[in-house]
Amino acid sequence: MALGFVAVAIPLQLDRQWITIGWALDGLAMLALWKRLDHPGLKYLGLALLGATTVRLVANPALLGYYPRSTVRIVNWLMYTYFVPAAALLAGGGLLKPLEMKRRAPGRRISTPGGTRSAPSAPGWRRSS
């Protein structure tokens, strides 16, 4: 419950791109805590925060207009606005993958509207029939 209040407090205390960065780091911290405590609420709140971070980066047209463009082309405020959340998303995926792959039973049957079939061996890959 208290971690949810931390997530709500971020937009109240921070401004502009710092909300995005704060939610990304908070989501990563929730996933790291979930790895130690294995409480599903931590995982889902962390994923929700990382999802909100992605939406703010992709669907927020005002993001590019927060500050005027600097003369330095690479190292400027846009770099850390996109780099920190991208690093948090990659690290979150790295935390989730080994634990979630252990939980998935190999050869597990999944139900689809067309009938039952075997689960793919890796996400996005289909077994040849």
Q: 3-class SS at 124?
A: coil
Residue 53's pLDDT is 92
Our separate counts of H helices and E strands in the chain read: 4, 2
Other beta carbons within 10 angstroms of residue 6's beta carbon come to 14
Q: Using an 8 Å Cβ cutoff, are 31 and 92 in contact? A: yes
Convert the pLDDT of each residue in 89-116 to its tens digit: 999 999 988 887 777 766 665 555 665 5
Integer Cα distance of 122 and 28 in angstroms: 24
For residues 23-27, average pLDDT: 93
Read off the pTM: 0.72
Residue 55's pLDDT is 93
Measured in degrees and rounded to the nearest 5, phi and psi for residue 115 equal: 125, -170
Integer Cα distance of 52 and 88 in angstroms: 13
What token pair was written down for 14? 């921070």
Token match 């998935």: residue?
104
